[in-house]
Structure 1
Amino acid sequence: MAKAHVLVLPFPAQGHVTPLMELSHRLVDHGFEVTFVNTETQHARVLSALPAGGAAVLGGIHLASIPDGLADDEDRKDLSKLIGAFTRHMPGHLERLIANFEAAGRPRAKWLVSDMISMGWSFEVAKKFSIRVVSFWPGAMATLALLLKIPKLIEDGLIDDKGLPQRQEAFQLTAGMPPLHTSQLSWNNAGAPEGQPIIFDLVTRNKKFIDLAEMSVANSFHEAEAGAFRLFPNILPIGPLFADHRKPVGSFLPEDECCIKWLDAQPDRSVVYVAFGSIAIFDPRQFEELFEGLELTGQPFLWVVRPDFTTGLSKTWLHEFNHRIAGRGMIVSWCSQRQVLAHRAVACFVSHCGWNSTMEGVRNGVPFLCWPYFSDQFLDRSYITNVWRTGLAVSPNAEGIVTKEEVRRKVELVLGDAEIKERARLFNDAARRCVSDGGSSDENFKRLVNMLSE
């Protein structure tokens, strides 16, 4: 007998779509029918980026979409604008989508798996249709712990009731969690300052919906975040999530496959892999400093440069740029990061420290050079540099620029540090044990499958 029909609803950003798509593949492998619901804009991007075979290569995951409430030409990287629109408009659209399933001959949805904080409103929609709920956290458990401990942070005088720092200092919620400075709280570093109240309101308002979920799971593993999971033992780690590289995981841009062949021709543990996720933007000066710093290292490098990653560079400069790196460096607009980080040629990862990238690097034993951009990435950096000690961080100068000399120096330090490499290997082993048969994340995933099968 076919198992339950599960709706999966991510926050409309790459770092949320990817882990929930990885989870969806695993649920399909266990016999569930999965409908993956993106916003219309992200749905179109996912479809256009799929490799040959189109939706057929998704292996049984059905794709659906609903509007996010923004006009076509509005900036969806403005998180406060996006959040303001979708919290008003998406609940009604989700209700209509669910109601239309039976009319279209689809099985009635029995479960909703959705982002825990940012999409908590969807839990109320599900309950209207007697759909049971699993909440999913895509980031570090430590980030979630901070969100859930906001009342305590206010009580302790670290922040006010609007989420703004009252003291400039580093703090730690509990032993084993990464230290974080009050200037780097995720809700205050996710866009323009004027949008901060909207983001903080979403975080604080949606926490109450967690109680509507029958199980809460997180894309992390116990050994990586033992302190954070001790604070909230009812939230179960099921990560690091991953899927076979032949299964698409909802990329918003087409993946360049040529870089894998290029990596095949490089020596073992020689390549510096550079990628800053789907949102980070560099100004032209910082872009040039990074490029020239990579040149100075003398190492082969693979660099992901999205079409919107920087602005204002002349065609003449770009032509010279490509000529200079010929034979030693490769630039792609997007790639299968799962394949790249698993490749024997990759020596270190210059990363924005998004949680997906962090888990992918950890799972493959790759040392990091951390270069966070916004939101929770500062806390993820603190894990890497202060707790796990599997990498180093760049230090901007007085003008806020990471110079080419700093890039060269830190890459050389990471590549030459035997202790960092050994700790990265140990965390690789720990992550793989957790997801292997009988590991803690594997056992928690089995609990999830059993509950969804009820």
Structure 2
Amino acid sequence: MDNNNDSSKSLTGPHFLFVTFPAQGHINPSLELAKRLAGTIAGVRVTFAAPISTYNRRLFSKENVPETLIFATYSDGHDDGFKSSTSSDKTRQETAGRYMSEMKRRGRETLTELIEDNRRQNQPFTCVVYTILLTWVPELTREFHIPSALLWVQPVTVFSIFYHYFNGYADAISEMADNDPSGSIKLPALPQFRLRDLPTFLVPENPYSFLLPAFREHIESLKQDENPKILVNSFQELEQEAFSSVLGNFKIVPIGPLITPRTDSRSGAEYIQWLDTKNDLSVLYISFGTVVVLSKKQIVELCKALIKSQRPFLWVITEKLHTSKEEENEEESIRSFTEELDEIGMVVSWCDQLSVLKHRSIGCFVTHCGWNSTLESLVAGVPVVAFPQWNDQMTNGKLLEECWRTGVRVMEKKEDEEVVVESGEIKRCIEEVMDEKAEEFRRNTARWRDIAAETVTEGGSSFKHLKAFVNEHIVPWG
């Protein structure tokens, strides 16, 4: 170690290694942070490591990056990509469990090689930044005596919920789920939460609750670090109370919003040309991301709501990462409504979301409340119909509606063991955002848009936090 440190004195600053989980919600903010570090802070070098499968699937672009940012790979054990093959919850759990286990095994092996190669080349890493679910990464960095930081790609409110769940509130939340599902709970320095506001991993019957131990591992792993740091893709002004909720236990550093501004507006794209023909604030933009798969029943209800509303819409239906052979895809589900939908809207398989949200014609974003999409709605200043599906999206929906007051959340119903939002409820929410409370929501979103822009510019809170974080990792020369 000493020899490596001595020989690195000729280098010009800290060398960060970013290790990201292979999902869009992890890759996008990680890459944006890597670009900011490499492109705006003098002397910083960054190596961005993602699984081989993400490069094969082209989940991100390596274009327009600073010279001091280079790309590397590690193996997750599925270099050709991972896809579940059944709709059975039990089998999905087993398959995902095997995937996580194999990722840990192969990830440790290949990341060890990367760390050792850089040492041999006299370019050692001075800090490792890793995302959620990669609990094996800090274990590895401790073996190499390299400082690390967790990049939390969800709101700090959600981190606080997990922390309190594992530190005294698990029984209370489980009891509420079993005996009083319409009740609520108050956690330290956080708003009042109903069961429907909490991350779904906390509910025992949720098919993905098996991932809950990974969040416990994160918290326990952080406690083992001498100076545990969590970089959060949020900003101080947005979640003031939540940042103080666990402040005494970890150093939480808000450095967001980590949203990539587009230099290419794709003005020639067909969907942009279509939006150009529409009136200001008249179009609904609809997207449920790359993971969420809506049931056929839910797709039907959404189609009915759009037809009843008769408002122009742009609906993005992407190829989902984890659909099974047994599941009907979303495009097939809307086929019977194609003629009526084509008269009022447009369905596309992909779009530049931030460019769309910033288009003058967009009046409302119907969103699954993924954290990246949530932040983009705030950055663009667009009111939302919150349509959360799972995990942190439930909490994000509550924050949007009740804390930041930038939209309204749909109310779901349970039908034959399936949770569905009916067409009348969807239409009601659209009308509330586009008509009844439009002025109030637009005023609130404009406020958050301006604050979000200020916080990442020089002198802003997130800018200063990020610069201070980098300064902590500058190796003293001489």
Q: TM-score, normalised by structure 1?
A: 0.85
The 8 Å contact of residues 53 and 79 in structure 2, kept in 1 or not, is answered as no
Equivalent in the alignment of 1:171: 185
Structure 1: segments with no counterpart, 5+ residues:
249-253
Which of 143, 151, 154 matches 1:128?
143
The 8 Å contact of residues 17 and 48 in structure 2, kept in 1 or not, is answered as yes
Query: Deviation of residue 80 (structure 1)?
Result: 4.1
Query: What aligned pairs does 1:90-239 form with structure 2 within 5 A after superposition?
Result: 90-102=107-119, 105=121, 107-115=123-131, 117-154=132-169, 157-159=172-174, 168=181, 169-177=183-191, 179-181=193-195, 184-188=198-202, 193=207, 196-197=209-210, 199-211=211-223, 212=225, 215-233=229-247, 234-239=251-256
In the alignment, is residue 75 of structure 1 matched against residue 83 of structure 2?
yes
Equivalent in the alignment of 2:446: 425
The 8 Å contact of residues 177 and 203 in structure 2, kept in 1 or not, is answered as no
Secondary structure (helix, strand or coil) at the match of 1:353 reads: coil
Identity %: 28
Structure 2: segments with no counterpart, 5+ residues:
1-10, 85-91
Structure showing greater relative contact order (alpha-carbon pairs closer than 8 Å, 6 or more residues apart): 1
Q: Structure 1 residues 113 and 207 mapped into 2: Cα distance closer, same or farther (>3 Å)?
A: same
Equivalent in the alignment of 2:328: 312
Which of 278, 287, 293 matches 2:299?
287
In the alignment, is residue 446 of structure 1 matched against residue 467 of structure 2?
yes
Which moved further from structure 2: 298-307 or 93-102?
93-102
Query: Deviation of residue 19 (structure 1)?
Result: 0.7
Equivalent in the alignment of 1:378: 394
Which moved further from structure 2: 70-79 or 276-285?
70-79
* Per-residue Cα deviation, 1:361-418 (whole angstroms, up to 9, x for no partner): 1122211101111111111111111222211111233423222222222101111112
Query: Deviation of residue 70 (structure 1)?
Result: 4.6
Q: Structure 1 residues 189 and 265 mapped into 2: Cα distance closer, same or farther (>3 Å)?
A: farther
Q: How many residues align?
A: 438
- Output the CA distance in 1 between the equivalents of 2:291 and 2:160: 24
- Output the CA distance in 2 between the equivalents of 1:86 and 1:208: 20
Amino acid at match of 1:333: S
* Per-residue Cα deviation, 1:53-72 (whole angstroms, up to 9, x for no partner): xx343444322222213585
Equivalent in the alignment of 1:347: 363
- Output the CA distance in 2 between the equivalents of 1:80 and 1:341: 36
- Output the CA distance in 1 between the equivalents of 2:102 and 2:450: 43
- Output the CA distance in 1 between the equivalents of 2:180 and 2:423: 34
Q: Structure 1 residues 231 and 315 mapped into 2: Cα distance closer, same or farther (>3 Å)?
A: closer
Amino acid at match of 2:29: P
The 8 Å contact of residues 187 and 200 in structure 1, kept in 2 or not, is answered as yes
Which moved further from structure 2: 336-345 or 254-263?
254-263
- Output the CA distance in 2 between the equivalents of 1:356 and 1:191: 27
Equivalent in the alignment of 1:62: 70
The 8 Å contact of residues 256 and 335 in structure 1, kept in 2 or not, is answered as no
Which of 19, 24, 28 matches 2:34?
24
Which of 430, 435, 446 matches 1:411?
430
Q: Structure 1 residues 332 and 315 mapped into 2: Cα distance closer, same or farther (>3 Å)?
A: closer
Amino acid at match of 1:26: R
Query: Deviation of residue 87 (structure 1)?
Result: 3.2
The 8 Å contact of residues 10 and 16 in structure 1, kept in 2 or not, is answered as yes
CA RMSD of aligned residues (A): 3.3
Q: Structure 1 residues 333 and 314 mapped into 2: Cα distance closer, same or farther (>3 Å)?
A: closer
Amino acid at match of 1:95: T
Secondary structure (helix, strand or coil) at the match of 1:46 reads: coil
* Per-residue Cα deviation, 1:266-306 (whole angstroms, up to 9, x for no partner): 22111111111121111223212212312222221111101
Q: TM-score, normalised by structure 2?
A: 0.82
Which moved further from structure 2: 325-334 or 163-172?
163-172
Amino acid at match of 1:222: Q
Q: Structure 1 residues 94 and 257 mapped into 2: Cα distance closer, same or farther (>3 Å)?
A: farther
The 8 Å contact of residues 384 and 408 in structure 2, kept in 1 or not, is answered as yes
- Output the CA distance in 2 between the equivalents of 1:200 and 1:332: 35
Q: Structure 1 residues 39 and 45 mapped into 2: Cα distance closer, same or farther (>3 Å)?
A: same
